[in-house]
Amino acid sequence: MTCYSLDGLTPVVDPTAYVHPSAVLIGDVIIGAYCYVGPLASLRGDFGRIVLEEGANVQDTCVMHGFPDSDTVVERNGHVGHGAVLHGCRVGADALIGMNAVVMDNAHIAARSFVSAGALVKAGFSCPEQSLVLGSPAQVKRRLSDEEVAWKHAGTREYQVLAQRCMASLQECTPLSMVEADRPRIHDSGLRPKLAGSA
């Protein structure tokens, strides 16, 4: 990872967390146990504090930032999809932020809630626990089922396992010039159940 201290504050990464070498951590960043930070993620603690609590993941090209004296927090087992932007907000425990969603200042996504891909969550927004949040500007659509929350929890567990896999075996390499015969496939852990009605 690319890591910078600023004004005497150095990022903190728990030894059990995985941060991709291309991710950037600046200043007041705290990454808890069993977290995963994906390629090209930018966690800028140059104004406010950035916190990932235990088991959270922030995927490729995500941005976390805030205004001075703010906290941008992903609580325990929070799940932030590719390309999302979190600015001075709080993502509750076991919540999911969809790909390319934007969550603005002082918004609070409650525990076990989902924000849809591409949503724009305006500053100051809040929702009840276990909400499905859709649109631009985002609104609460309905309450999530326990089955949907369990599906998300299993997906987050896959990222916790991925953090362990990356620490154990990810290494920079030179690409092959052709596909080898009988090339094996990478399989998930089998932890994630299919959601009813999905392919």
pLDDT confidence of 95, banded at 50, 70, 90? very high
pLDDT tens digits for range 124-157: 999 999 999 999 999 999 999 999 999 999 999 9
What domain range is 94 assigned to? 2-143
Residue 168 belongs to some domain of the structure: no
| Global model pTM greater than 0.85 | yes
Write down the pLDDT at residue 195.
52
For the CA atoms of the chain, what is the radius of gyration? 17
pLDDT tens digits for range 3-51: 999 999 999 999 999 999 999 999 999 999 999 999 999 999 999 999 9
Cα 117 to Cα 54: distance, rounded to the nearest angstrom: 23
The answer on pLDDT for 191 being more than 60 is no
The answer on pLDDT for 196 being more than 80 is no
Our count of domains for the chain comes to 1
pLDDT tens digits for range 148-187: 999 999 999 999 999 999 999 999 999 999 999 998 888 7
Q: Would strands 24-31 and 42-52 be described as parallel, antiparallel, or unpaired?
A: parallel
**Any idea what the CATH number is for the domain that residue 27 is in?**
2.160.10.10
Write down the pLDDT at residue 199.
39
pLDDT tens digits for range 40-84: 999 999 999 999 999 999 999 999 999 999 999 999 999 999 999
pLDDT confidence of 1, banded at 50, 70, 90? confident
Residue 65 belongs to some domain of the structure: yes
pLDDT confidence of 107, banded at 50, 70, 90? very high
Residue 107 belongs to some domain of the structure: yes
Residue 182 belongs to some domain of the structure: no
Residue 84 belongs to some domain of the structure: yes
The answer on pLDDT for 198 being more than 80 is no
Write down the pLDDT at residue 91.
98
Residue 154 belongs to some domain of the structure: no
Residue 113 belongs to some domain of the structure: yes
